[in-house]
């Protein structure tokens, strides 16, 4: 089966490598020539566990190829997926220019039947726009080629992308033609051989499912962050509350972790876009508006705690160490990460910021330049520091040598934004310790 994936980012590259792993012949297409050149040499542009091996293996097997030219390969494909970015526009709506550019290119070059599948996260009605854009170009050329559009939103999480893609909880496909449904069933069968969890539905419902899923998950997090802040005021412990409510199967245990706010390329942008879709349709999504407000506030909580620990004393000139810069562990992605908000606040206050992240140092340098001090490891970052802020719960931060850290810090103060340390343990080592929701 020949398929192409247009847009070779987190989603496009992971999907391409995983489809190739099941035996499909996949061409990953991108307009970024440097990225494609690097991939052809086996250099993977992002950090995602297991991705290097999977890409290299499938390239060697001849099942995974790269191209910068969709027109060259389009008429050899049965399916073309669009996995380009849909960044937020100034008003919060999803910017569809890349998706529609791809549709135009398809219409300008298509000569035989094709299923065009939108994998990017797009608002309801986008597949219709994709259909119209392709048809318009075909009509201009005066050719009568059959094609179908479908919606297949992606639910993978960064840092766990390959596992999520290879063994999905479910695959959602919005499709309105039997021919396209049959082709997509064939493609997804290898992933779900013994338990075919593909949910077919109409296209608008598939498009909406993606936003509703991310919004529900973001809601759980903001809800727990709100409860955590209240726990602090009334003397409860949010970790115990989480265990207490998560054991109710109607609630479930996942995505209930209070912390210093959610980030990433998806939750913030998708919550905004859904709010905008509703506003455009004359409906106000009150719950989601609150979810967003709570998250904005939560990203400032670590800084507020730091200020409180210094009891009104100026933070200017204080050396503050940050552990974790990525928006979550196991990725180098810093889009909308809490660290960006914290760094800005610290620098505005005149602090000296030292930082360490196992994978996101290069990305941080690209964004922050020389405004902070980049350290070679977690221990170098805390050397002479007046406080340590844990912002991303990487595994290597879980069991630090507190004795050594205590000797090297200027003030023994730890603020834990992901609740991974034990207060009693830290206090025993002579540290002042604060976390979220306790």
Q: CA-to-CA distance for 428 and 438, rounded, in angstroms?
A: 18
Smallest distance from ligand UPG to CB 326, Å: 9
Q: Choosing among ligand NAD, ligand UPG, none, which partner's interface includes residue 257 (Cβ < 5 to 8 Å by kind)?
A: ligand UPG
Q: Does 26 bind ligand NAD (CB under 6 A)?
A: no
Judged by CB under 6 A, the residue of 22, 92, 135, 155 near ligand UPG is: 155
Decide whether 102 or 198 has the Cβ nearer to ligand NAD: 102
Query: What residues pair up with 82 in beta bridges, in sequence order?
Result: 6, 118
CA angle 322, 227, 208 (to 5 degrees): 90
Element (H or E) spanning 190, and its range?
none
Q: CA-to-CA distance for 400 and 414, rounded, in angstroms?
A: 12
Q: Does 310 bind ligand UPG (CB under 6 A)?
A: no
Encode burial over 151-164: b for 16+ CB neighbours within 10 A, e otherwise: bbbbbbebbbbbeb
Segment contacting ligand UPG (CB under 6 A): 40-48, 135-143, 150-158, 309-317? 150-158
- Chain positions 229 to 258 lying near ligand UPG, rule: CB under 6 A, are 255-257
Segment contacting ligand UPG (CB under 6 A): 63-71, 176-184, 262-270, 342-350? 262-270
Q: Does 7 bind ligand NAD (CB under 6 A)?
A: yes
Annotated binding site for substrate: 155-158, 210, 255-259, 263, 328
CA 284 from centroid of its chain's CA atoms: 26
DSSP, res 327: S
For the chain, how many helices (H) and strands (E)?
Answer: 18, 14
- Chain positions 135 to 194 lying near ligand NAD, rule: CB under 6 A, are 154, 156, 158
Judged by CB under 6 A, the residue of 36, 55, 84, 130 near ligand NAD is: 84
Cα distance from N-terminal residue to C-terminal residue, the chain: 54
Judged by CB under 6 A, the residue of 47, 66, 98, 131 near ligand NAD is: 98
Query: What residues pair up with 355 in beta bridges, in sequence order?
Result: 322, 374
Q: 327 near 392, Cβ under 8 Å?
A: yes
Judged by CB under 6 A, the residue of 98, 262, 323, 402 near ligand UPG is: 262
Segment contacting ligand UPG (CB under 6 A): 106-114, 137-145, 214-222, 232-240? 214-222
Segment contacting ligand NAD (CB under 6 A): 10-18, 109-117, 193-201, 291-299? 10-18
Q: CA-to-CA distance for 144 and 278, rounded, in angstroms?
A: 37
Q: Choosing among ligand NAD, ligand UPG, none, which partner's interface includes residue 11 (Cβ < 5 to 8 Å by kind)?
A: ligand NAD
Q: CA-to-CA distance for 5 and 17, rounded, in angstroms?
A: 10
| Cα radius of gyration rounded to whole Å, the chain | 24
Q: 218 near 257, Cβ under 8 Å?
A: no
Decide whether 88 or 246 has the Cβ nearer to ligand NAD: 88
Decide whether 98 or 323 has the Cβ nearer to ligand NAD: 98
Catalytic residue among 28, 231, 266, 375: 266
Q: Which two tokens stand for residue 361?
A: 């140092």
Mask: binding to ligand NAD, 42-81, rule CB under 6 A, as x and -? ----------------------------------------
Q: Does 36 bind ligand NAD (CB under 6 A)?
A: no
Judged by CB under 6 A, the residue of 265, 277, 295, 392 near ligand NAD is: 265
Task: Give the DSSP per-residue string, 371-427.
Answer: SSEE-SSHHHHHTT-SEEEE-S--GGGSS--HHHHHHH-SS-EEEETT--S-HHHHH
- Alpha-helical (H) ranges within 47-172 are 51-60, 70-73, 97-109, 126-141, 161-166
Q: Choosing among ligand NAD, ligand UPG, none, which partner's interface includes residue 8 (Cβ < 5 to 8 Å by kind)?
A: ligand NAD
User: Which of 93, 9, 84, 82 is closest to 269 using CA atoms?
Assistant: 93
Judged by CB under 6 A, the residue of 8, 27, 215, 295 near ligand NAD is: 8
Q: Does 288 bind ligand UPG (CB under 6 A)?
A: no
Q: CA-to-CA distance for 125 and 204, rounded, in angstroms?
A: 6
* 266 a catalytic residue: yes
Q: CA-to-CA distance for 14 and 195, rounded, in angstroms?
A: 22
Segment contacting ligand NAD (CB under 6 A): 25-33, 127-135, 280-288, 298-306? 25-33
Applying CB under 6 A, the residues found at the interface with ligand UPG are: 121, 154-158, 214, 217, 221, 255-257, 259, 262-264, 266-267, 327-328
The residues annotated as belonging to the active site are 266
Contacts with ligand NAD by CB under 6 A lie at 6-12, 29-32, 35, 83-86, 98, 101-102, 120-121, 154, 156, 158, 265-266
């Amino acid at each position: 089966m020949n398929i192409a994936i247009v847009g070779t980012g987190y989603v496009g590259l992971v999907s391409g490598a995983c489809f190739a792993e099941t035996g499909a012949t996949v061409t990953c297409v991108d307009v970024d020539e440097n990225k494609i050149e690097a991939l052809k040499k086996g250099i993977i542009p992002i950090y995602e566990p297991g991705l290097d091996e999977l890409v290299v293996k499938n390239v060697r097997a001849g099942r995974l190829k790269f191209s910068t030219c969709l027109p060259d390969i389009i008429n050899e494909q049965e399916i073309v997926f669009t996995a380009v970015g849909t960044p937020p526009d100034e008003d919060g709506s999803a910017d569809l220019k890349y998706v529609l550019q791809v549709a135009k290119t398809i219409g300008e070059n298509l000569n035989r039947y094709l299923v065009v599948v939108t994998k990017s996260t797009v608002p309801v009605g986008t597949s219709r726009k994709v259909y119209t854009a392709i048809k318009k170009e075909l009509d201009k050329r005066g050719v009568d080629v059959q094609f179908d559009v479908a919606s297949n939103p992606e639910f993978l999480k960064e840092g766990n992308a390959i596992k999520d893609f290879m063994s999905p909880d479910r695959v959602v496909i919005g499709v309105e033609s039997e021919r396209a449904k049959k082709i997509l069933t064939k493609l997804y069968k290898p992933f779900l051989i013994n338990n075919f969890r593909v949910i077919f539905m109409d296209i608008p419902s598939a498009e909406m499912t993606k936003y509703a899923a991310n919004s529900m998950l973001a809601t759980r997090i903001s809800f727990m962050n709100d409860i955590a802040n209240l726990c602090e005021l009334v003397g409860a412990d949010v970790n115990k509350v989480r265990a207490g409510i998560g054991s109710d199967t109607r609630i479930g245990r996942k995505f209930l972790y209070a912390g210093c706010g959610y980030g990433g390329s998806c939750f913030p942008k998708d919550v905004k876009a859904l709010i905008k879709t509703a506003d455009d349709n004359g409906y106000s999504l009150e719950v989601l508006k609150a979810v967003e407000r709570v998250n904005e506030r939560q990203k400032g909580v670590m800084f507020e705690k730091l200020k409180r620990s210094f009891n009104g004393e100026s933070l200017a000139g204080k050396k503050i160490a940050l552990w974790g810069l990525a928006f979550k562990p196991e990725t180098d992605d810093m889009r909308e990460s809490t660290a960006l908000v914290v760094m800005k606040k610290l620098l505005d206050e005149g602090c000296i910021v030292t930082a360490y992240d196992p994978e996101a140092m290069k990305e941080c340098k690209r964004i922050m330049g020389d405004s902070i001090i980049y350290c070679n490891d977690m221990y170098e970052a805390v050397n002479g520091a007046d406080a340590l802020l844990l912002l991303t719960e990487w595994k290597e931060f879980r069991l630090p040598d507190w004795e050594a850290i205590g000797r090297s810090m200027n003030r023994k103060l730890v603020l834990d934004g992901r609740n991974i340390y034990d207060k009693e343990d830290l206090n025993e080592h002579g540290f002042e310790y604060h976390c979220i929701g306790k």
